[in-house]
Structure 1
Amino acid sequence: MAAVTTSALTAEEQRLIAWIESEAQARGNAVIAVPSDANGSGFCFTACAWALHNVPEAVVIGLPEHMGPVLLDAYVDRSANGEIFEVGKQYDDFFQGAPVVFERVAKGHYPEYFGSAFLVYPDGDFPALQLVVATPEGRFPWHRDAPEGFADWQPVLTESGVPESWQPGVDGP
């Protein structure tokens, strides 16, 4: 991982980058959690997955607090060990009874959903994937029969707000 110049960072940013680097060295990545607020769902994202393992950083939105880090750690561990995840393909082996699909994150969402990662990648030059988790009934946010408000609770971070790397129901869930 490249060293980050800390002279221009605030004391709080320096503490955060030190924590991110410590987590990355100890665990292979850092997972940063952001709690829900009046503006939206809580989410968590990785930092250092790209720097350490050459796998895209990842974000998950709207999961219960304890589930997001577990999902992201599993993604980074599996990716670091050579597994390649395809966008638009449904994966049933992350959580029992809750399918997961990957989608590319549009760069316009990076500042909001990967803010602290800019301490690692100041130029914002890193790939990112969103792990979208279905309901136990297999409904994703873009499905017409998804629970009311599900698309607001777990927005899809593409430019359009719906999958763009595949066509739901055609070559993806």
Structure 2
Amino acid sequence: MRPTEADAEDLRWWLLDQSDRHGYAMVEVAGDEHGAPYVFSVGAWRRFRVPEAVVIGLPDGMGRMLIDAYVRRARAGERFMPGRVVDDFFDGAPVIVERVARGHYPEFFGSALLVYPAGDFPAVQLIVATPEGAWPWQPDAPVGFADWQPVLTHSGDPESWTPGVDGP
């Protein structure tokens, strides 16, 4: 079922209100037979000039925690460079940042386009390794991990660094 123009305008105002009140809005999309669940921010760029962020495929509640920690820390001045591993978001599960290709914006930041109609915002993906330290692109990653946590670059592989050379 497609939203009406009135629904879209109500959502736009809700996103703006959340951004004004809390610094950003958080949008959660449930997983289904076509893909994993994901969570993304809307308003971090508008309020703090930090890229919007998306997290795909984490268990219930963990994506929210990661987006919240990212925006809170970025708002305080910390910058998360693509290719840099961040070990202190979760105990025992490293996170790495990758730029999101704009071609993925409609699918993974759809409602953000109500706030940024021209798609003129930067976005990053926060990719989480397994507790054993495997990343989705590594051959020793669990079967289906790359499908559950796809990398949102043009190629579908890390592009801001070379795995095993200057990144994990």
* Superposition deviation, residue 26 in structure 1: 2.2
Q: Secondary structure at the match of 2:166?
A: coil
Give the CA deviation at 1:126. Answer: 0.6
Residue-pair matches, total: 165
For residues 129-164 of structure 1, what are the alpha-carbon distances to aligned partners after superposition, in whole Å with 9 as ceiling and x for unaligned? 000000001111011100000000000000111100
CA distance in 2, matches of 1:144, 1:47: 33
5+ residue gaps, structure 2: none
Find the aligned partners of 1:111 and 1:25 in 2 and give their Cα distance: 23
- Determine the C-alpha separation between the residues in 1 that align with 2:46 and 2:60: 25
1:13-92 aligned within 5 A: 13-92=8-87
Matched, 1:108 2:109: no
Q: Could you tell me which residue of structure 2 aligns to residue 146 of structure 1?
A: 141
Identity %: 59
Give the 3-state SS of the residue equivalent to 1:115 in structure 2. Answer: coil
Q: Which residue of 113, 117, 123 corresponds with 1:122?
A: 117
**How far off is 1:27 after superposition?**
1.6
Q: In 2, Cα distance between the equivalents of 1:27 and 1:140?
A: 32
Aligned partners of 1:67 and 1:25: how far apart in 2? Answer: 24
TM superposition score normalised by structure 1: 0.93
Q: Take 1:40 and 1:110, find their aligned partners in 2: how far apart are those partners? A: 15
